């Protein structure tokens, strides 16, 4: 027993947990199964450390209460689900996994070097995803007949990349996160060579984003970079105009698609509006506990006024806010949103003095990345994808890990 206690309090034990976080960060976009296995192994070691190390103390978080309410409401929604077994399985395997990720990062990634290694793992993973996107665009399959494209509205749109992700929209939301973090680092870093590498990575990521033809994500990144340029540095705004203008000039199909972003001329826009109207009614009918975690696809047909086709299954509301409120109720959904926006605010409006420009850049980039999730969440539920949600909770954990270094 003494040997176990000595190991639990040793540096090696903590290092193993950090390695698990690094592996999760690296594999989230490449192999979600490996990422989840890494998380589970790391969390088991963490529980061992928490139980055996008498000197270990849990670090309090200002969002712990909101997370607890979110978890409890998610569990309570199972009671009203059309399929309680399905909802319990999803709540246990999803919400619990998200919280495990947050706890593992905030309680164990505590030094600058550890944060740096996790950031490098995320960056290397993103680089591989972007490379895969380019490969897919050059040598990939024709996606014109897939559900991601309205063939009637965009007959010339034959290819949308999705790389290692489930579909182009999820890849696009991921790339928005990547670009935002790179922008934060680019703004804060002082080394000229480092800024050049970051700029090249950003341009490659923007090009890959354009290959997804995801209108919402493209508008989101344009708004974020544009607003930052107006408020902080007009040179960034000028660079955005030049890059965006060049891309649209070279790709008339993308230009045509972006011109329809504010219209309801294609089926995807029409469907979203109809779904939102039905989801609002769903929330009004089930305001307290919602319809049950993950039960949207079961309940939506009762409110469907657009598709009216039993062969079509809609698994989420294409809106983060409406989806959470519909599935776990107004209290649980609002608790999640409070946790989310509180974390965003702490990243964007940090007043603590951090060790160096790398940490400052990472924190700013993470804040901008959360803004991208918030904006993309208006037109799509990107958090329905499990790796995307795990990534969100990991990034939120990093915000608090970085802030803990400040004074």
Nearest alpha carbon to residue 314 among 322, 263, 165: 322
Look at the alpha carbons of 358, 362, 363, 367 in this order and tell me if their dihedral is positive or negative: positive
User: What pLDDT was estimated at residue 253?
Assistant: 79
Kindly state the average pLDDT of the residues 37-57. 90
What gap in Å lies between CA 150 and CA 213, rounded to an integer? 12
pLDDT: which is higher, 254 or 65: 65
Confidence check: pLDDT of 195 > 80: yes
Mean pLDDT of 363-378: 96
Whole-angstrom Cα distance, residue 64 to residue 318?
27
Q: Does residue 94 register a pLDDT over 50?
A: yes
Considering only CA atoms, give the Rg of the chain: 22
What is the mean pLDDT of the segment spanning 330-355? Answer: 94
Instruction: Provide the 3-class DSSP secondary structure of residue 49.
Output: helix
pLDDT given for residue 155 in this prediction:
47
Tell me: the pLDDT tens digits for 206-241?
Answer: 999 999 998 889 999 999 999 998 888 888 888 888
How far apart are alpha carbons 345 and 130 in whole angstroms? 29
Report the C-alpha gap between 216 and 213 in whole angstroms.
Answer: 9
- Give dist(CA 277, CA 380) in Å, integer: 15
Confidence of residue 146 (pLDDT cuts 50, 70, 90): low
Residue 366 has pLDDT above 80, yes or no: yes
Structural domain for 246, as ranges: 2-403
Residue 308, pLDDT > 60, answer no
Query: Per residue in 243-257, pLDDT tens?
Result: 888 887 888 778 777
Q: Helices (H), strands (E): how many in the chain?
A: 17, 0
Mean pLDDT within 346-350: 93
What's the whole-number mean pLDDT along residues 50-58?
A: 83
Question: Rounded to an integer, what distance in angstroms lies between the CA atom of residue 89 and that of residue 97?
Answer: 12
Higher pLDDT, 260 or 328: 328
Q: What is the DSSP letter of 260?
A: T
Angle, CA 121 vertex, CA 117 and CA 125 arms, to 5° = 170
d(Cα 55, Cα 196) in Å, to the nearest integer? 45
Contact 339/312 with Cβ under 8 angstroms? no
CB 125 within 8 A of CB 28: yes
Phi and psi at residue 254, to the nearest 5°: -65, -40
Query: What CA–CA distances, in Å, run from 159 to 125, 129, 140, 214, 254?
Result: 23, 17, 8, 12, 11
Q: Is the pLDDT of residue 268 over 80?
A: no
243 neighbors 206 (Cβ within 8 angstroms): yes
Structural domain total, the chain: 1
| Cβ atoms of 344 and 168 closer than 8 Å | no
């Amino acid at each position: 027993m003494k040997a176990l206690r000595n190991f639990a309090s040793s540096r090696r034990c903590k290092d193993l947990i950090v390695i698990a976080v690094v592996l999760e960060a690296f594999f989230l976009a490449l192999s979600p199964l490996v990422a989840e296995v890494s998380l589970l192994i790391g969390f088991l070691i963490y529980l061992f450390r928490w139980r055996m190390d008498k000197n270990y103390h849990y670090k309090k978080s200002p969002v712990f209460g909101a997370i607890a309410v979110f978890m409890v409401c998610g569990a309570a929604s199972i009671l009203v689900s059309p399929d309680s077994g399905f909802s319990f399985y999803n709540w246990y395997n999803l919400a619990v996994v998200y919280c495990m990720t947050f706890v593992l990062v905030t309680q164990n990634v505590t030094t600058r070097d550890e944060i740096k290694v996790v950031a490098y793992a995320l960056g290397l993973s993103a680089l591989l995803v972007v490379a895969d996107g380019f490969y897919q665009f050059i040598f990939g399959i024709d996606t014109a007949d897939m559900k991601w494209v309205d063939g009637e509205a965009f007959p010339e749109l034959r290819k949308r990349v999705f790389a290692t992700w489930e579909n182009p929209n999820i890849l696009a939301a991921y790339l928005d996160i990547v670009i935002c973090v790179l922008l934060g680092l680019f703004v804060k870093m002082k080394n000229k060579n480092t800024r050049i590498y970051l700029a090249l990575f950003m341009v490659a990521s923007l090009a890959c984003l354009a290959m997804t033809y995801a209108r919402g994500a493209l508008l989101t990144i344009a708004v974020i970079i544009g607003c930052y340029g107006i408020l902080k540095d007009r040179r960034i705004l000028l660079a955005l105009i030049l890059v965006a203008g060049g891309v649209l000039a070279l790709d008339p199909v993308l230009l045509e698609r972006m011109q329809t972003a504010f219209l309801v001329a294609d089926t995807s826009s029409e469907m979203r509006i109809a779904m939102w109207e039905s989801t609002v009614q769903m929330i009004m009918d089930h305001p307290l506990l919602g319809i049950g975690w993950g039960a949207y696809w079961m309940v939506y047909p009762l409110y469907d006024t657009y598709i009216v086709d039993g062969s079509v299954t809609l698994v989420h509301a294409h809106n983060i806010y409406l989806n959470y409120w519909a599935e776990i109720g107004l209290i649980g959904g609002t608790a999640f949103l409070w946790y989310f926006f509180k974390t965003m605010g702490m990243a964007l409006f940090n007043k603590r003095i951090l060790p160096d420009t790398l940490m400052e850049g990472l924190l700013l980039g993470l804040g901008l990345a959360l803004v991208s999730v918030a904006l993309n969440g208006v037109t799509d539920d990107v958090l329905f994808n499990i790796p995307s949600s795990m990534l969100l909770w990991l990034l939120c954990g990093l915000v608090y890990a970085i802030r803990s270094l400040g004074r």
